[in-house]
Chains A and B, each alone.
Chain A
Amino acid sequence: MSTTREDATPHITVEDDRCVAAGHCVVAAPEVFDQREEDGVVVLLDARPPASARAAVHEAVLLCPAAAIRWGDGPS
């Protein structure tokens, strides 16, 4: 089942069993997301990215084609 990673707020969570390995998040925010080598599934590099990455993470949340990314501090 879901292996949602959770930390204290505010933070990013990804549902990797929902991920479809499109890699849009990596394109949008490469310092925050990566993909597993074997199947391209999302790897969260930084659950609490710096403010400078905010716009990029928002973009990743919106563009994820599986709606698999949440950011806990506001509307996704």
Chain B
Amino acid sequence: MRTDVTADVTPDVTTVATPEAAAAVRTEVAPEVTSVVRTDVAPDVTRDVTPDVTSIVRTDAITAVTRDVTRDVARDATTDVATDVATDVATDVATDVATDVATDVAIVGASVGGLTVAQALRRRGFAGSLTLIGAETELPYDRPPLSKQVLAGTWPAARTRLRDRAELDALDMELRLGRRAVALDQARRRITLDDGHTLRYGTLVVATGAHARDLPGRSGLAGVHTLRTLRDSERLREDLRTARRVVVVGAGVLGCEIAATARGLGLPVTLVEPAAHPMERLLGTDIGAALARLHTEHGVRLLLSTPVAGVEGEDGRVTGVRTASGTLVPGDVVVVAVGARPATRWLTGSGLTLADGVVCDDRCRAADRVYAVGDVARFGVTGPDDRGVRLENRTNATEQAVFVAADILGAEARYRPVPYFWSDQFQVRIQVYGSVPAGATVRVVEGSVADRRFVAHAEADGRLVGIVGWNAAARMRTARTLLDLAAPTA
């Protein structure tokens, strides 16, 4: 049961002078909810809107969304909004008025970054209203298992859930799933959702993640996949059941894991990669070569130094991948794992600076009271010539989310994470702290490559910049400290 009902329909919101005040407006939707309006947030304005609802005509709002909204509200009711409230909201919406709602903190993106902001805010005692908006309909879930346990079929989809329903309910937030933000109006501190409804915020957190990049020629061909969502993973798994030959394009973390999982299912797999080694950009050439051997030993056919021109098909079904040199690599299932692009299209024209991500300062602020976290955030940009950093990894999403929650509540630190990722392939766990830049000197400091258990240090300009562990997890615990000590103090 929700204990607060943030304003649902505010007839005279235009009379509220400031966004701060607007965010503080709380409107009761129905008499039976009156008694559960939070008292700890001291509503400045309390109105019963029901009689006035037909008078609300927002010129900028899309009307006639009754059917969609009714359905969505019904779905919300199963996750967050109490049924009695949902019913009344649906009744209000039946007047063909797109609602305009206020929330103290709006988080767009309900994957691990967005959800963790909400959790960290509550953990730190934040008592204001929270709205979490997610484009997918599933409860927030974790993505690393999608290329491994879920694809292999060893985990049911539900196991990927980040938090269960009771834990989400305890966060006391409005969770709107299956809804996409389509526009941001910074001046009015308002976002528009794909159902035409608007949401006014005091603080906005952009956590929309990234989309899979694609290859030319893909459109409309059955058997071609990218993997980003739970649904993608389930679809690919379904296709792998009847696959005869799998081609994976791109030997980054995702491509290597998919290749390993597909081999584990007994399928013939070809992994095609333009660089000379798998995960070369992440591991360097020496460890990349060890990874190539691992895949070869397990029967993956590796086509390295092989750029791809596109996918090809016949009668609507993929037949293979055409390399840049003109060879067709045959496959009836093709997985394209060639990276991701930040999901920023909805922010076009918003005034936020977009440059392969939402450009943020070293406090992860994209603008006044607008933050970005996770894959979508390009943070630490301190000047026009500064590219900043964008990290697509699981641990950055949570660390950045915890940081941003603290900043929202008044901390003023600088976000300077030690990047970390891991990858599991053929019973090998690879862990990397920091990075292994091109040209770095890589030196095994413990164990050996031959023993298939080692820790390696990457040094650039005489400084430790990365630590790689290969089946050496317990040996990696000091890695972060070592890198912190080696980091420039600038």
Q: Which residues of A contact B (CB under 8 A)?
A: 20-24, 26-27, 35-41, 58-59, 62-67, 74-76
Contacts and interface: CB of A to CB of B under 8 A. Distances in A.
A19 to B, nearest CB: 10
Interface residues of B, number: 31
Interface of B: 112, 116, 119-120, 122-123, 142, 144, 162-163, 167, 170-171, 394-395, 398-399, 401-402, 420, 422, 424, 429, 431, 471-474, 476-477, 480
B398 A76 contact: no
Contacts of A22: 395, 420, 422, 431, 473
Given A21-B429, A63-B398, A63-B402, A76 B474 contact: no
Contacts of B471: 39
B474 A75 contact: no
A35 B477 contact: yes
B59 to A, nearest CB: 40
A58 B162 contact: no
Given A59-B402, A62-B119, A62-B402, A27 B395 contact: no
25 contacts: A20-B429, A21-B431, A22-B422, A22-B473, A23-B476, A24-B395, A27-B477, A35-B477, A36-B474, A39-B474, A40-B473, A58-B123, A62-B119, A62-B120, A62-B398, A62-B401, A63-B398, A65-B144, A67-B112, A67-B142, A74-B170, A75-B122, A75-B163, A75-B167, A75-B171
Given A21-B429, A21-B474, A63-B398, 11 more contacts: A20-B422, A20-B424, A21-B431, A22-B420, A23-B477, A40-B472, A40-B473, A58-B123, A67-B162, A76-B163, A76-B167
A63 B144 CA distance: 15
Contacts of A65: 144, 394-395, 398, 422
A64 B399 CA distance: 10
Contacts of B399: 63
Contacts of B402: 59, 62-63
A62 B118 CA distance: 11
Contact of B473 (A21, A63, A75): A21
B410 to A, nearest CB: 16
Contacts of A24: 395
Contacts of A39: 429, 471, 473-474
A5 to B, nearest CB: 18
Contacts of B422: 20-22, 65
Contacts, number: 74
A69 B223 CA distance: 37
A64 B216 CA distance: 38
- Which has the most chain B C-beta neighbours within 10 Å: A22, A23, A27, A74? A22
Nearest to B477: A23
Contacts of B171: 75
A64 B162 CA distance: 11
B484 to A, nearest CB: 11
A75 B471 CA distance: 33
A62 B402 CA distance: 8
B175 to A, nearest CB: 13
B473 A67 contact: no
Contacts of B398: 62-65
A39 to B, nearest CB: 6
A23 B429 CA distance: 13
A66 B142 CA distance: 8
A68 to B, nearest CB: 10
The interface centre, meaning the residue of A27, A40, A63 with most chain B CB atoms within 10 A of its CB, is: A40
Contact of A66 (B144, B167, B401, B473): B144
Contacts of A58: 123
The 3 A-B pairs of least Cβ separation, nearest first, read A40-B473, A21-B473, A75-B170
A43 to B, nearest CB: 10
B144 A75 contact: no
Contacts of B429: 20-21, 39-40
Given A20-B144, A20-B422, A22-B395, A40 B474 contact: yes
Contacts of B116: 62
A21 B422 CA distance: 9
B395 A63 contact: yes
A65 B471 CA distance: 18
Contacts of A63: 395, 398-399, 402
B354 to A, nearest CB: 27
A75 B431 contact: no
Contacts of A76: 119, 163, 167
Contacts of B424: 20
Nearest to B116: A62
B4 to A, nearest CB: 15
Contact of A27 (B394, B431, B480): B480
A26 B120 CA distance: 19
Nearest to B420: A22
A5 B192 CA distance: 44
Contacts of A75: 119, 122-123, 163, 167, 170-171
